[in-house]
Structure 1
């Protein structure tokens, strides 16, 4: 990966919908050359996909939380992961090392809905313990900082 690839990635992180023409203009290459570079970055696994960053509050889910989750002894982790999509309030999940097994990012309408989710996770998903924090706001650091040589 060279300096131009890093420039292309920086632009795509800011605007994943940037056209090859726009990318080419910014890095001073033809659209075809940029397209080939982007395809190579995708094929090598550097670019894994493109996604929309949604404002969950516009869906009535303005209460975002981070919850550290410890599973009960003997709970199948793969099964837990496979069943998480059944809980629409869980919008992200990460497997962890340390005292907790997972960190879940949840978006709820209010405390009552959050309590319902906690009860469901404990009753149906083998969760033994949750430690939750209300997310006040995200600090936009951006992964483009990793692209610095």
Structure 2
């Protein structure tokens, strides 16, 4: 990966819908050359996909929490991870080292919905202990910090 690839990645991180022509203009290459570079970045796994960014508040899920999770001793991690896919309020999950096994990002409409999710995680998904914090706001650090041109 060279400087031009990093420039392409930076543009895609700021605007994943940029056309090959726009990318080419921004990095001073032809659209065909940029398309080939993007295909190569996708084939190598550097670019894994494109997604829409949703406003959870606009969708009625403005209460966001970060929850550290410890599973019951012996509970199957693969089963827990698969079970998370069935809980729509869980919008992100990371496996951790340390005192907790996972960190979840959850979005709920209100505290009652959050309480119901906690009960579900404990009853059906092997959660032994949960420590949650309300997310006040995210700090926008800007796109492409590792691939800045």
CA displacement 1:26-56 (0-9 Å, x = unmatched): 1111000000000000111111111111001
**Which residue matches 2:73?**
73
Correspondence 1:9-88 to 2 at 5 A: 9-88=9-88
State the distance in 2 between where 1:93 and 1:117 align.
14
Instruction: For structure 2, list consecutive stretches of 5 or more residues without a partner in the other structure.
Output: none
**Which residue matches 1:117?**
117
| Count of equivalent residues | 149
State the distance in 2 between where 1:145 and 1:109 align.
32
**1:141 shift after superposition:** 1.2
The answer as to whether partners of 2:14 and 2:143 remain within 8 angstroms in 1 is no
TM-score calculated relative to the size of structure 2: 0.97
TM-score calculated relative to the size of structure 1: 0.97
CA displacement 1:56-106 (0-9 Å, x = unmatched): 111100001100000000100000001111111001111111110000000
Structure with the larger RCO, 1 or 2 (CA within 8 Å, 6+ apart)? 2
Cα RMSD (Å): 1.0
State the distance in 2 between where 1:141 and 1:101 align.
27
**1:143 shift after superposition:** 4.9
State the distance in 1 between where 2:8 and 2:57 align.
31
